[in-house]
Structure 1
Amino acid sequence: MFIQTETTPNPNVLKFLPGRDVATAGVQEFLSIDAASVSPLAEALFQLEGVRGVFFGADYVSVTRHPDFDWTGIKAPVLAAIMDHFVSGAPLMRGEAPEAEGHAADDSEVVAEIKALLDSRVRPAVAQDGGDILFDTFDPETGVLSLRMRGACAGCPSSSATLKAGVEQMMKHYVPEVTRVEQVL
């Protein structure tokens, strides 16, 4: 098995591509070993010194390192853990995966339009960088759209620029009710 690695705009995150499907039931993010207990792979990665976060995309695993650690010391053990997991044939998740964000029946027309735009244009683009963006809230009175960044996008130095120059401009263009986009931490 050959696993490719890609850098991301976030210097603390590397994207690992095992050449097969990873999160077929929807993306998953783990920010602690306790949260990772539902996934054998995430749990194994958190047991490595210097791993701070794990994100499963459709066909990749993004790993966030603690800033005090260098990739030269972490990359080989991360590759080994990912390879061992996929070679073993173990499932990605123990039991059922947590529910992925979806479209609620009670979403307003504007919120449904925002979510559709996120799903069709924004999320595929940020997935290429090893991350994800989720809808959080929309205030119809002020036009403020709040989004949550995950994976490589969370804590990325260029995430503010991505939100303002990319996502905010696109949302304002396609959904005139949106006046501003903010990141929820």
Structure 2
Amino acid sequence: MKNITIKIQTTSNPSIIKFEADSFLTQHQSFEFNNIDEAKPSPLAQQLFYLPFVKKVYISGNFIAVERYNIVEWADVQEEVATQIQDYLNSDGIVIKEATPSKKVPVTVYAESTPNPSVMKFVANKKLVTATFEFPSIDEAKLSPLATELFHFPFVKNVFIDENYVSISKYDIAEWNDITMELREFIRTYIENGKEIVSPNANVVLEKTQEQLDANFEALDDTSKEIINILEEYVKPAVASDGGNIQFESYNADTKTVKVILQGACSGCPSSTFTLKNGIENMLREMLKDKVQTVEAING
């Protein structure tokens, strides 16, 4: 039994709703079906067309977008549709039949330097994962075929994968000038060929499904929740642009100490200590007043 969660996302078109999953449904392929006959390659789309208000079904990456006829409003039926999709996926329902010929997805990848001289960020024009993943070694990369292959390059030290990019940490034996083009082309070709980035069950194994994350969050004390919300809103977007991530680890109310895990380009970065002390620590002390005194970092 799978454990996929579906979230409802509105779009700029009031006739179209996106049903977003916390894991990938297709291998970077996109499919559009205008009626039940066209939907033969997709048993899921065919089931949706049995709903009388469904006009068009679009399946791509980690979401299903459905366009409705004007006989209903989404507000009246979207929860029911979300539940139907979620139940279908969790009972091992087929999204796309394997016999369906796949087209190569045109992919672009560009390399971007980070504040950490040991880390380069490779940004794709496609969504790669639905959660963050860090792999410090090939032994720990079993859940990611992409990371496993990257570790076959002798200079790759660490692989961090976020929404649409891969941050790679290198050993000092190589210079970025000599290896960036090779890595960029390897990643681009890998994605373009529709290969698996992370295993379908990676979110469940690493407790990264939305359901598991929500349960872990709700189990925390109120101050820890406040800290996480501040990190999510003010800190993570900034460090993500630099190819890294800062993850909440713990809060000690007695010592007023917050521990965070530095991942990707943040891990081992010479400027991360400055950022931690002068940025995050000051922000938490200011916003949470007497609840936080010190922030300590653990390299991921």
TM over 0.5: yes
Aligned-residue sequence identity (percent) comes to 34
Look up the match of 1:13: 119
Q: Which has the larger radius of gyration?
A: 2
Please, which of 111, 119, 122 is the counterpart of residue 224 of structure 2? Answer: 111
Look up the match of 2:128: 22
Letter in 2 for 1:128: S
Letter in 1 for 2:282: Q
Letter in 1 for 2:242: D
What's the offset of the Cα at 1:61? 0.7
Deviates more, 1:73-82 or 1:49-58: 73-82
| Partners of 1:44 and 1:81 within 8 A in 2 | no
| Partners of 2:110 and 2:184 within 8 A in 1 | no
What's the offset of the Cα at 1:106? 2.1
| Partners of 2:256 and 2:293 within 8 A in 1 | yes
Q: State the SS of the aligned residue for 1:175.
A: helix
Look up the match of 2:189: 84
CA offsets, 1:45-93, max 9 Å, x none?
Answer: 1111200011111111111111221112221221122112111112211
What's the offset of the Cα at 1:122? 0.8
| Partners of 1:40 and 1:93 within 8 A in 2 | yes
Work out the CA distance in 1 between the residues paired with 2:143 and 2:182.
21
Give the 5 Å matches for 1:161-172. Answer: 161-172=274-285
The structure showing larger relative contact order (alpha-carbon pairs under 8 Å, at least 6 residues apart) is: 1
Please, which of 207, 213, 229 is the counterpart of residue 99 of structure 1? Answer: 207
Please, which of 248, 254, 271 is the counterpart of residue 135 of structure 1? Answer: 248
| Partners of 1:133 and 1:148 within 8 A in 2 | yes
| Partners of 2:128 and 2:165 within 8 A in 1 | yes
Letter in 2 for 1:99: E
Alignment partner of 1:37 is 2:142: yes
Work out the CA distance in 2 between the residues paired with 1:119 and 1:149.
14
Work out the CA distance in 1 between the residues paired with 2:181 and 2:143.
24
Work out the CA distance in 2 between the residues paired with 1:3 and 1:27.
18
| Partners of 2:111 and 2:180 within 8 A in 1 | no
Work out the CA distance in 2 between the residues paired with 1:22 and 1:124.
17
CA offsets, 1:104-136, max 9 Å, x none?
Answer: 322111011001111111111100000000111
Work out the CA distance in 2 between the residues paired with 1:82 and 1:71.
15
Look up the match of 2:238: 125
Letter in 2 for 1:148: I
- Give TM-score, length-normalised by structure 2: 0.59
Deviates more, 1:174-183 or 1:66-75: 66-75
Work out the CA distance in 1 between the residues paired with 2:164 and 2:174.
26
- Give TM-score, length-normalised by structure 1: 0.94
Work out the CA distance in 1 between the residues paired with 2:262 and 2:136.
13
Look up the match of 1:173: 286
Cα RMSD between the aligned structures?
1.4
Which sections of structure 2, spanning at least 5 residues, go unmatched? 1-106
